Chains A and B, each alone.
Chain A
Amino acid sequence: MSKVIDLCVIGAGPAGLAAAARAAQGGLNVLLLDEQPAAGGQVWRNAGAALAGGSMPAAQAEKAYHGAAAALRRLAASGVDHRAGATLIDIAAPETAPGPGPEAVVEITWRAPSRAEAPRIRQTAAGAVICATGAQERPLIFPGAELPGVMGVGAIQSAYKQSGLVPGGEGVVLAGHGPLLLLTLAQIRAAGGRVAAVLDLGAPGAMAAVARTLPRALIGDPALMARGAGLMLRRALSGVPVYRRVTGLRAHGADSIEAVSFSSAGRATRLPARLLGVHDGVIPNAQVSRLLNLRHVWDAGQGAFLPVRDTDGAVAPGIWLVGDGAGIGGAEIAAMEGEQAARAALARAGRGPDVQGPAARHLTRRRAARRLVEALYPPVPMGAYATDDALICRCETVRVADVRAVLGTGIDGPNRVKAMTRCGMGPCQGRLCANPLTRLISAETGRSPDAVGALRIRPPLKPVLLMDYLAPETMPEVSA
């Protein structure tokens, strides 16, 4: 397949936006594929509409979307061909494409959002690829977690940013730890909502530290603290019952959550609940880096595998991984990494000197600061709530006990456990169970996560209708 575009950027969050715009400004023709309905990623979800006076009050929009307006303006001016709602299906790395080197092409298979846009599956040959696929929440494994009404705090954030939705009425409980949990609490209360209780699942003292660390942890922007976020957070907890030293967390209900039970400091408690927001930090979305079969190293601070990258984010000839998808750093670090990878892509295409941008030193400092934040919010230990009857794979209804039952002599890696239990074989393709499974096996066998390894990821990256799959077409020349 001959090259059709210079650069394909996957993901339109802070990292992808920066990379695409920089590369386009440098003269590359760029295709920006993003699965979400609008550019911005998660931190800037729906920023364009919100800043233009959409679903949330303008003052809140400015705070929530700091930095987004500039990034979106830059995208609009860049000439980047941005496809919203485009789903990545497969990447064939240069080692399987003809000859590595500057002439190698990376074959990107992606899906257009609508069946009306035939052919829905497209194949694009790109001279280079920058993957900026972002983060997801780390699933907390506890019994009842799969019940409707139990959702990630990130999902509550998402509903807020997308449609201005705020949990309403009685029975709203938040459980977990970390900055996003407290930010969500503050937002709910600021919007006049009620939170019945907060279950603090974090390290002792970490909840109180949130106010100090939140701004940097989320978007790395000291200016936000100056605008009062710190104060808002310190006040968020006032008047809300906080349960600490929580054990035995369990969600109850038939078709949706009706109650949550737990012990706090040894005292058994049961609260009515209609919405349980859960948060155990965020982890890189590892589907692409696993599909590419890259080397990963366990990062104890982030409680996740991170792909091994060069200093500019390169992982293979013509392929870069940047932003939270390669290691959680927040929006500011992500944007800097995107810029840096775009410069490297420009240099590789003979469109500029191969120099690190002026941001390089700043980036190093920011990453160091990020480490301090991570130390405050270690992941909830795997064994804390993962009872035998808790689901580890909600798609295939695989329980923790099912994994424990097959672990034994020689059955001590995720792919063997998958073969024995079907853990990871459902439609989410391991997105929700890969990280917990590595940690569970590690906890059960006493082997390090690096020795345990991770679930292998196979194409397609998202389930594809066979009728779509059968009718692919090489994308024609993009308008750049």
Chain B
Amino acid sequence: MSARMSTQGDIAVIGAGLVGSALALGLARTGARVTLVDAAADDFHASAANFGLVWVQGKGLGAPDYAALSFRAAQTWDGFAADLVQATGISPAYRRTGGVRIALDEAELERTRANLARLHNQPGGAQDTEILDRDALRALLPGIGPEAVGAAYCPHDGHADPLMTLRALRAMLETRATIVPMQVTRVRPARAGFVIEGDTGRIQAERVVLAAGLGNVALGPDLGLHAPVRPQRGQILITERLPPFLDLATHTVRQTADGTVMMGDSKEDAGFDRGTTQAVARDIAARAVRSFPALARARLVRSWSGLRVMSPDGLPIYQASATHPGAYLVTCHSGVTLASLHAGEVAHAIADDALDARYPEFAPTRFEVAA
């Protein structure tokens, strides 16, 4: 559909990555007429660069609500994935395999252990993450290398294929929403609702959700929405297809349903530069080979960078505009893990105009607290 003709809908979602697409699906299921504005030319940015973990363990230290949110997300992913497969025949390849954070020396293991102990002392979230010693880890992962001294194991962790998840969401939205490709330049309040202006035209909607990742920074202020997010670069390496050897998810290495092995978990502040650097790539590869020595004989096929959408405390930002009712902002760096909730309870909260009431702890007002 061309954006030149003004589209009138109940609600427009700006951003067609995993966050925007999941929200759009959830909103469409509530009966809303949804317009999904796809604002990135020939790219899915963060969603296509994602590592694909559905991850619970270690999340939400000092933020019990985030721990609980992640846990609920993992618990609802099975149903979310089943819905996508049933409706589209496209599998997001979600597997709730359990996940391990591998420690390659005692200091790492001690840090993981301390973090876990602190998490256990706060309410909310999964409480059954356990520390595995060397032998227990070896029993769980026969391919693990001799340097691994232990790990944290959480049975609720898993992994999915972010691209197939996005593809399935997209296929569902083709018939449930109006998708408009448009580079959005501005969203402004209008007499009745909002006007979304872009390179190919304008769209009117009664309500609007900003789900444009790093793009939310520029779009938010006109609507009284505040997203102090910054890019954090993560590099990912991927190998050729290998015979299955690693079912479990780990936080640095995972074998996809296709057999390829992804390696990642780097964190760099590099602005908006999506380039790759060999120094970081080698660190990632070195850790992967130390974890799983058989990978030494695997072929590295490709590497890429993605920009995580990081808030100051790493938690999602869910906000309803106080000054412009009907305008919302949703952003997070865990678009895969939280996809099941974005298509479910979070979309419902927006539909009910209860986003700030139901998620007060994820409002950006938390960043305004005096130091």
Direct contact of A and B (CB under 8 A): yes
Complexed CA–CA distance, A408 and B171 (Å): 10
* Given contacts A410-B16, A458-B304, A460-B303, A467 and B296 within 8 Å (CB-CB): yes
A-B contact pairs, 17 of them (CB 8 A): A409-B174, A409-B180, A410-B179, A412-B42, A413-B41, A419-B166, A422-B258, A427-B299, A459-B302, A460-B302, A463-B299, A464-B300, A465-B298, A466-B297, A467-B296, A470-B286, A470-B296
A-binding segment of B98-106, B138-146, B274-282: B274-282
* Given contacts A410-B179, A470-B282, A470-B289, A415 and B298 within 8 Å (CB-CB): no
Majority secondary structure, B binding face? mixed
Interchain nearest-CB distance for B242 vs A (Å) = 11
Residue in B closest to A463 when the chains form the complex, CB atoms: B299
B359 interface contact, C-beta 8 A: no
Number of interface residues of A (CB under 8 A): 34
Q: Is the CB of B276 within 8 A of A458?
A: yes
B354 interface contact, C-beta 8 A: no
Kindly identify, within residues 384 to 438 of chain A, every residue whose CB is under 8 Å from any CB belonging to chain B. 406, 408-416, 419-420, 422, 425-427, 429
Q: Is the CB of A466 within 8 A of B302?
A: no
Q: Is the CB of B41 within 8 A of A465?
A: no
Contact of A466 among B16, B41, B300 (CB under 8 A): B300
A134 interface contact, C-beta 8 A: no
The 7 A-B pairs of least Cβ separation, nearest first, read: A413-B42, A463-B299, A467-B296, A410-B38, A410-B181, A409-B179, A419-B48
Centre residue among B170, B179, B180, B258 by max chain A CB count within 10 A: B170
Q: Is the CB of A427 within 8 A of B43?
A: no
Interchain nearest-CB distance for A109 vs B (Å) = 7
A472 interface contact, C-beta 8 A: yes
Complexed CA–CA distance, A464 and B239 (Å): 9
Complexed CA–CA distance, A112 and B328 (Å): 55
* Given contacts A459-B276, A466-B285, A429 and B302 within 8 Å (CB-CB): yes
Residue in A closest to B178 when the chains form the complex, CB atoms: A409
Centre residue among A419, A425, A429 by max chain B CB count within 10 A: A419
B interface bracket (residues with beta carbon within 8 Å of A):
35 or more
Given A410-B179, A414-B42, A469-B300, 13 more A-B residue pairs with CB atoms under 8 Å apart are A96-B277, A416-B42, A419-B44, A425-B301, A460-B301, A460-B302, A464-B300, A465-B296, A466-B297, A466-B298, A469-B281, A469-B282, A472-B278
* Given contacts A458-B276, A466-B239, A470-B282, A409 and B1 within 8 Å (CB-CB): yes
**Residues of chain B within 8 A of A411, CB atoms compared:** 170
Interface on A for B, CB 8 Å cutoff?
90, 92, 96, 109, 123, 406, 408-416, 419-420, 422, 425-427, 429, 453, 458-460, 463-467, 469-470, 472
Q: Is the CB of B282 within 8 A of A453?
A: no
B126 interface contact, C-beta 8 A: no
Complexed CA–CA distance, A156 and B122 (Å): 70
**Residues of chain A within 8 A of B44, CB atoms compared:** 416, 419
Interface residues as binary, B10-47 with A (CB distance below 8 Å gives 1, 0 otherwise): 00000010000000000000000000001001111000
Contact of A419 among B163, B180, B277 (CB under 8 A): B163
**Residues of chain B within 8 A of A410, CB atoms compared:** 16, 38, 179-181
Complexed CA–CA distance, A463 and B276 (Å): 16
Interchain nearest-CB distance for A454 vs B (Å) = 10
* Given contacts A460-B303, A472-B282, A420 and B240 within 8 Å (CB-CB): no
**Residues of chain B within 8 A of A472, CB atoms compared:** 278, 282
* Given contacts A410-B181, A416-B44, A463 and B301 within 8 Å (CB-CB): yes
Q: Is the CB of B42 within 8 A of A466?
A: no
B82 interface contact, C-beta 8 A: no
B288 interface contact, C-beta 8 A: yes
**Residues of chain B within 8 A of A425, CB atoms compared:** 301-302
Residue in B closest to A96 when the chains form the complex, CB atoms: B275
**Residues of chain B within 8 A of A422, CB atoms compared:** 258
Q: Is the CB of B285 within 8 A of A469?
A: yes
